[in-house]
Amino acid sequence: MIRVLLADDHKMMRAGLQRLIGEFDGFEIVGEASNGHETLQQIEKLHPNVVLMDVLMQGLNGLDATTRIRHSFPNVRVLILSMHSAEEYVLQAMRNGAHGYLVKSDSPTELELALRAVASGETYLSAAVSKHVISGYVNRVTSGDAKDSSLGRLTPRLRDVLQLVAEGFTTKQIAIKLELSPKTVETYRTQLMQALKINDVAGLVRYAVSKGLVTVEA
């Protein structure tokens, strides 16, 4: 069973999530918290696998709580679920140690996919979140040099993986699309980060946009 802790300052939101996640196979809601301090206390007490975390909470917000979780409970995965999809929230969450980011307008199916991906060690950005991140970067990117030497060093397969990662697809989804094993996709992603000297998904998104590998619909 994947043990999930709900962290949100709205009781009705927590109740709705508890009912929803209770319908997912293989999940158990082990507790709830209304702010970051309670979240840390509950993690120590309940040992969840994943914390489903809101961003804006009184006392200690979700972003700062995520930083503390990263340092104090490195084996606990954090999935942000927020009403805010702006680039600055997403990137700050990922810098603070979040393993995924959803917005509250995303579908229940996306929530289940994200929980499973994060629990299995992957990073997950929903399609809506990825588009906002890409849009933020594309507004600051000039035409640039599409023939940049770092891009030229990538094999066609690595470029395919880079594009799909930047578009928000999970490792399993990329594996299906490219007819590869998930482990092979993970190997390609590691090679990408090493080749480009990039340490996170947000950095890969930025790079893909700057090189014109990902486009944004108007």
Domains of the chain: 2-125 (3.40.50.2300), 143-210 (1.10.10.10)
- The region, left, alpha or beta by phi > 0 then psi within -120 to 50, assigned to residue 152 is alpha
pLDDT reported for residue 53: 97
pLDDT reported for residue 147: 44
Rg (CA), the chain: 18
pLDDT reported for residue 133: 66
pLDDT reported for residue 138: 47
Tally Cβ neighbours within 10 Å of residue 131.
17
The pLDDT tens digits for 36-53 are: 999 999 999 999 999 999
3-state class of 90 per DSSP? helix
Of the pLDDT bands very low, low, confident and very high (cuts 50, 70, 90), residue 202 is confident
The pLDDT tens digits for 204-218 are: 887 877 665 654 443
pLDDT reported for residue 139: 53
Distance CA(189)–CA(54), nearest Å, equals 28
The pLDDT tens digits for 126-173 are: 887 876 665 555 455 434 444 455 766 777 788 778 878 887 888 899
